[in-house]
Amino acid sequence: MGWLFGTKKKVPKVPFPRGDSMDEGMFKFPSVISSDKVIQPEKLKEAAGIGEELEMPIPPKVKQDIFDQELQPVSSKFKVPMPKNPEIGNAQMLSMPSQVEEKPIFVKIDVYKRLLGEVDGLKKSIEELECANEGLQNSRYNEETDFTKLKRSIRGIHDRLLQVDKSIFK
């Protein structure tokens, strides 16, 4: 019983700590930025491996003559009509490159796998959002039906209370 109704221990009062004085330079950004904290674009590209091109072995050519023979008749059938105004036609011809260079795109395997994983994760999150949306739509419908049921039951209780009140105070 002593612990329940016993006297309270006296705790000595501790003075509040005094903070450092506030000066105006306290909330300003430093004027000199250290180079360790700044990430240069070149370093970022180097770390990501964007600047480096991997050398891929070129597959041996497969009878290029057959493909060239098939393409020649097709290209001779379709000729680009020259425009009536030669000035506009020359300007368009100059702006369009004569040959489109197709350069291979090099992607590291681990980056490709990571991207595939992120795509799968996005698909899963979209499915979860669709399920949540369907649940919300069902809950809205159920909310309306539950609200109407609640109204009916409250009206029934109100009517019964009125009957009880009338029978008591007759």
- pLDDT tens digits in sequence order for the chain, 170 residues long: 456 667 777 888 888 777 767 677 777 776 766 666 666 667 767 767 676 555 666 655 555 554 454 444 444 444 555 555 555 555 555 555 556 678 888 888 888 899 999 999 999 999 999 998 888 888 888 888 888 888 999 999 999 999 998 888 87
In a domain, 170, yes or no: yes
Residue 124 belongs to a domain:
yes
CB-based contact 45:104 (threshold 8 Å): no
Is the full-model pTM beyond 0.85?
no
Q: Is there a domain that residue 37 lies in? A: no
In a domain, 53, yes or no: no
Helix, strand, coil percent content, the chain, rounded in steps of 5: 60, 0, 40
Q: Residue 61: what pLDDT?
A: 55
Backbone angles phi, psi at 30, to 5 degrees: -65, 145
Task: Say what the pLDDT of residue 15 is.
Answer: 82
Is 39 within a domain?
no
Instruction: List the structure tokens of 70.
Output: 């098939």
Domain count, the chain: 1
- For the chain, the residue count is 170
Please check whether residue 162 lies inside any domain of the structure.
yes
- Burial state string for 27-50 with b = 16 or more CB within 10 A and e = fewer than 16: eeeeeeeeeeeeeeeeeeeeeeee
Establish if 169 belongs to a structural domain: yes
Cα dihedral 19→21→22→28 (10° resolution): -100
Q: Is residue 86 part of a domain?
A: no
Residue with tokens 């795109």, as numbered in its chain: 105
Whole domain around residue 169: which residue ranges? Answer: 109-170
